[in-house]
């Protein structure tokens, strides 16, 4: 893609409200228990940070890197998970925190790996959900927004490592000359 512009899709305020709503639900679900948030790097770092600050239950954070994309807007379907070996989640109430669920391939692979490590429970939380693109079945427990099949950036989410710093979510629109 040579030239493109970014069109605002979800504002900072709307994201903030969605994060609050998810946190309220988590606080209800785990009011007397601790939770372990597993942030999927890099895309979910902003979302995880915001969510963490709204959680009232005892909370721990871990980071795992899951990549399937490379520098293109097409998923390779090839999932690489790092820092998994050192991760101890036995007996924990795990919530996997993702930026976007697209085909669902990454999160499915991730969930399967984590289940092997004997957590007490495991849930999936995603800021954005592209249902239309799903290739595998996966249950989502907390979702911020359902979006259409468009390539988005901002709020931690990148296009070829760029635009993670945008405070809102925008759509990449190609400019055709």
State how far the Cα of 173 lies from the Cα of 176, in Å rounded to an integer: 9
Q: Which residues bind ligand IMP (CB under 6 A)?
A: 43, 68-69, 75, 98-107, 151-152, 157
Number of residues assigned to the chain: 177
Q: Is 146 a catalytic residue?
A: no
104 binds Mg ion (CB under 5 A): no
- Those residues with Cβ within 8 angstroms of residue 48's Cβ, 6 or more apart along the chain or in another chain: 37, 39, 61, 97
**Position 156 contacts Mg ion (CB under 5 A):** no
Q: Rounded CA gap, 123 and 114, in Å?
A: 11
Q: What is the CA radius of gyration of the chain?
A: 16
Instruction: For the segment 19-58, give every residue that binds Mg ion (CB under 5 A).
Output: 43
- Among positions 62-91, residues that touch Mg ion (CB under 5 A) are none
Single out the catalytic residue among 29, 102, 141, 146: 102
- Which of Mg ion, ligand IMP, none does 126 bind, CB closer than 5 to 8 A by kind? none
Q: Which residues are catalytic?
A: 102
């Amino acid at each position: 893609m040579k030239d493109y512009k970014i069109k605002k899709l979800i504002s900072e305020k709307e994201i903030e409200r969605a994060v609050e709503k998810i946190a309220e639900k988590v606080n209800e679900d785990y009011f007397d228990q601790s939770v372990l948030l597993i942030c999927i790097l890099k895309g979910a770092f902003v979302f995880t940070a915001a969510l963490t600050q709204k959680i009232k239950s005892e909370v721990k954070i871990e980071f795992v890197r899951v990549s399937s994309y490379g520098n293109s807007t097409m998923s390779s379907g090839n999932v690489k998970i790092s820092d998994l070996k050192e991760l101890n989640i036995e007996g924990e109430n795990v919530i996997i925190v993702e930026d976007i669920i697209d085909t669902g391939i990454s999160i499915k692979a991730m969930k399967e790996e984590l289940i092997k490590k004997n957590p007490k429970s495991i849930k999936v939380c995603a800021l954005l959900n592209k249902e239309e693109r799903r290739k595998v079945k996966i249950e989502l427990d907390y979702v911020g927004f359902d979006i259409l099949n468009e390539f988005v950036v901002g709020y931690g989410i990148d296009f070829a490592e760029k635009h993670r710093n945008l405070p809102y979510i925008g759509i990449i629109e190609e400019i055709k000359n």
